[in-house]
Amino acid sequence: MRILMINHEFTITGASTVFLRLATHLQTQGHQIFLFPCNPADGPIKSRYAERGIPVISSASLADFDLAIANTICAAGMVLKTGRQLKTIWFLHETEIGLNILLKNPELAAAFQLAAAVIYQTAFQQDVYKSFTYNLDPTKFHIVPNGVDISSPQIARHKIPAKTRPLRVVQVGTIEPRKRPGDLIRAVALSGLDIECIICGKFFVLEDEARNIAARAPDQFRLLGETKEEETLGWVESADIFCLASGSESQPVSVFEAALLARPLILSDLPGYRGIFTHGRNCLMFPPGHIELLALTLRNYAASPNLRAEMGAAAQQTALKFTNAAFLKRFDTVIGTVTTSQGQPI
C-alpha cells in the first residue's frame, strides 16, 4: 500500500518516536511510506526519516494513497481533510490536554466521525473523549498500548559522565507546563539531598522560580535539551531515580523505558497509570503539583537502597509486558480491519 503518515512535529517526544517506529515497521513490510508533518519546523526526528529513505512531503494528492495514519490531537485538522477522501486512522496520545484543545476548538471534534479508526493507549484515555464519541460506532475505537524494547547497543553509555554527587535523578520530557519539570527542580532543592537533577527534553518554558534555582546551582541541575535516543537512554540507565512529575499523561514512553531499565520510578498519581503502575508495588507516587510530597518521596528513595532495588525490579517486570512487537501486531490488526472493510470515507 501507499500510506500517508501525518506527523505532528519533528521534536523528540514519545509520540513522535513511536510514530517513527511504526513508519519503519510498515516500510519493512513493503509498504510505500510518505510523511507529511503538520508542523514542518526542523527537528532531530526529521533526519531519522531521511536515514530510512522515507520522503517528507509538503503536499499530496490524497487519490494517490490507500491509507492515512494521523498522529496526535494536533493532526485533527488534517483528519478533517483526509477522512472525507481516504480511510484514515487517528492515533491519539493525549488525555486532558487533548480534551482542552477540543473544548477550545469544537469544530475539530468531527475528526472522530471522519476517522475510519481511532487508536488510544489506555481505557482512561478513551473515557476522556467519551462526550465526543458516545454516539459513534464503538468498533472504530481501539486500545493499543505502546511497546518498548531496548537493546544494549542502543545505550550510549560512553557519553554519560559519572555522577558528581551520591545520587542522580533523571526526568525525560519537554520542558513545558504539562511535564512540570519545575516541580522536580523545586522538590530537589527542598529535599536538602546531595543529588544531581538531570532533565532531557526540548526547552519551551520554565517558571522563574525553578529557572532561578537551576541557574544558582548549574553543577546540580542540568537541563540538557533534546538528546539523541541512545544518549537519553544512557542518562536514564545511569539514574538512581527516574521521575516524571507530569500533570497529564496517557502512556509516556520514557516511563516504560526507565522501568525496562529497572530504574526506581517516582510518578505523579495520574489516572492513565491505573492498572499498570501502583504506589508501593512498582513505583512511588505523589499528587501532581505537590512539591513537598515529591521532596519527601525523593528522601524515601535516598534513604533506602533496598527500596530502590525493589521498586526498580518490580517496574521492570511490569514493562516487560509492553513489547514493541505486541504494539506493532495490534496496530497491524487495526490497519487490516480498516483496509478490508467495505465502508467508504464519509
pLDDT in tens, 52-77: 999 999 988 999 999 999 999 999 99
Query: What is the C-alpha separation between 255 and 232, in angstroms, rounded?
Result: 12
Query: Under the phi-then-psi rule, with left for phi > 0, alpha for psi from -120 to 50, and beta for the rest, what region is 262?
Result: left
What pLDDT is stored for residue 306 in this prediction? 98
Q: What pLDDT, on the 0 to 100 scale, is given for residue 183?
A: 98
C-alpha closest to that of 6 among 83, 57, 70: 70
Calpha distance 61→48 (Å, rounded): 24
β-partners of residue 266 are 243, 284
pLDDT of residue 172: 97
Percent of the chain with pLDDT over 90: 97
Q: Rounded mean pLDDT of 288-293?
A: 98
Number of domains in the chain: 2
> Does the pLDDT value for residue 21 go beyond 50?
yes
Over residues 285-305, the mean pLDDT reads 98
Predicted TM-score of the model (pTM): 0.92
Question: Could you tell me the residue range of the domain that residue 300 belongs to?
Answer: 152-319
Do 114 and 201 lie in one domain? The reply is no
Residue 253: what residue type?
A: V
Mean pLDDT of 160-169: 96
127 part of a folded domain: yes
Q: Give the pLDDT score at 345.
A: 54
Whether the predicted pLDDT of 277 surpasses 50: yes
Do residues 172 and 201 touch, judged by C-beta distance below 8 A?
yes
Same domain for 297 and 157, yes or no, is yes
Q: What is the pLDDT of residues 96-130, one digit of tens each?
A: 999 999 999 999 999 999 999 999 999 999 999 99
d(CA 46, CA 60) in angstroms, rounded, equals 18
Tally: H helices and E strands in the chain: 14, 12
Do both 161 and 296 map to the same domain?
Answer: yes
Do residues 256 and 111 share a domain?
A: no
Q: What is the mean pLDDT of residues 322-330?
A: 96
Q: How confident is the model at residue 83 (pLDDT cuts 50, 70, 90)?
A: very high
62 plus 124 within the same structural domain: yes
Is there a single domain that holds both residue 239 and residue 296?
yes
Amino acid at 180: R
Q: How far, CA to CA in Å, does 132 sit from each of 107, 128, 136?
A: 11, 9, 9
Query: Residue range 196-220: average pLDDT?
Result: 97
- 267 backbone φψ class: left, alpha, beta (φ>0; ψ -120 to 50): beta
Q: Average per-residue pLDDT in the chain? A: 95
Residue 7 included in any domain: yes
Cα angle: 325, vertex 326, 329; to 5 degrees: 85
Cell of 258: 526507565
Q: pLDDT category, 258, cuts 50, 70, 90?
A: very high
Q: 66-82: buried (b, 16+ CB within 10 Å) or exposed (e) per residue?
A: ebbbbbbbbbbebbbbb
**Judgement on whether residues 298 and 217 belong to the same structural domain of the protein:** yes
The conformational region for residue 345 under phi > 0 = left, psi -120 to 50 = alpha, else beta, is beta
* Section 228-253 average pLDDT: 96
Element at 192 (helix H, strand E): none
Q: How many residues does the chain have?
A: 346
Q: Report whether pLDDT(344) > 80.
A: no
Whether 346 shows a pLDDT value over 60: the answer reads no
Return the pLDDT at 341: 83
Q: Would you state the pLDDT for residue 245?
A: 98
Residue 27 CB: number of other CB atoms within 10 A?
Answer: 16
Residues 300 and 161 in one domain: yes
In this predicted structure, the answer to whether residue 343 has a pLDDT above a threshold of 70 is no
Domain CATH number, residue 330:
3.40.50.2000
pLDDT attached to residue 139 = 96
8-state DSSP, 181: H
Strands (E), 8-137: 32-37, 67-71, 88-91, 117-120
- Rounded distance, CA 115 to CA 326, Å? 23
